[in-house]
Structure 1
Amino acid sequence: MAWDEWEQLKADAATRQPTRTQLNHLPPEPSGGGGNPQGDLAVNQTDLAAIGDAAFELREHFGQAGKHARAASQKAAGGLKSQGFALGGALDHVASRWIDQCRSLLDATAHISNHLDFTKGAHAGDEVHIAGTVSSIATLDAGFSERKSS
């Protein structure tokens, strides 16, 4: 391609509409989307409670099973080491990594359960605040309506 051709292509491109990023999307629905007047995401307290309960139950059961597995692995590792098997050291290493991974999972499930409890309380507080604000507006509107009709 010659230099003149390149310059001509650049000039042609510059005269056209500037390039913009365009994201594909669906046109907005009259109801606000998804058929749900409040949006697509809907979670109720029953759903949150079930997830929190499942996380708590997983934590309890896995905590017990993890302790049992750790104890059995450490006992086996000790027995293998005492008999001179190199595998004993490797099993001991695996058992210590197991302990770390168990703690991580137990912490994560506790975090999920605690966060859902916090979320439930925060949203309950939001609901009280919103209800108070809306009722204040309704009272104010009623006052204007009374003055208008007098």
Structure 2
Amino acid sequence: MAWDEWEQIKADTAAHQSASTRLNQLAPAAEGGGAGKPDMASSPAAKKAAAKAINDDLEPGITRDGKHAAETTSAAVKAFGAKDGHGWDTSGALKRAHETWEKQVKTLLGRLSSEKQALSATGISMQNNELDIAARLARQSRIQGI
């Protein structure tokens, strides 16, 4: 490969990276950004609809599915549990994994509840909401340390 070709490849890559990594700016209007179109929850009606979706769909679904998972996991723990003094190690491992999972579901429901409340409040600015969400996402997950 000639030196000129190498320099051209580096220049093309640098141009592509600088164009695709400008995350703190709106996309040009031609690309669908900054064209004055409201985002999903930037209007009061959209915020209300998002809060309603959390209340009517997400929270009940997570609660229902969590109960189903708890029932099936409990059945599996019992099936693998000690009978006549003998049992599988899988039983205890499933129980511990489920306890961790239940904590994560409770945390998720708490986050959904706080997001629902934030969406329902009309005086909250989108910038403060985004900063709060970014701070929450920046926290390290407890499961990563396992």
Match of 1:45 in 2: 44
CA shift in 2, pair 1:66/1:35, >3 Å: closer
CA distance in 2, matches of 1:99, 1:115: 24
CA shift in 2, pair 1:74/1:35, >3 Å: closer
For these two proteins, the number of residue pairs brought into alignment is 89
1:67-82 equivalent positions in 2, closer than 5 A: 67-82=67-82
Match of 1:90 in 2: 93
CA distance in 1, matches of 2:59, 2:35: 37
CA distance in 2, matches of 1:76, 1:51: 37
Match of 2:102 in 1: 99
CA distance in 1, matches of 2:101, 2:67: 10
TM-score, normalisation: structure 2: 0.52
Q: Indicate the SS of the match to 1:99.
A: helix
How much has 1:41 moved relative to structure 2?
6.5
Match of 1:110 in 2: 113
How much has 1:74 moved relative to structure 2?
1.8
How much has 1:94 moved relative to structure 2?
1.1
- Native 8 Å contact 1:70 1:98 kept in 2: no
Match of 1:59 in 2: 59
Matching residue's letter, 2:108? L
TM-score, normalisation: structure 1: 0.50
CA distance in 1, matches of 2:78, 2:110: 28
CA distance in 1, matches of 2:68, 2:35: 50
- Structure 1 runs (4+) greater than 3 angstroms displaced: none
CA distance in 2, matches of 1:67, 1:74: 10
CA shift in 2, pair 1:117/1:85, >3 Å: same
Structure 1 gaps, min length 5: 1-24, 26-33, 124-150
CA distance in 2, matches of 1:58, 1:68: 15
Larger radius of gyration: 1
How much has 1:75 moved relative to structure 2?
2.3
CA distance in 2, matches of 1:108, 1:49: 17
CA shift in 2, pair 1:88/1:55, >3 Å: same
Match of 2:22 in 1: none
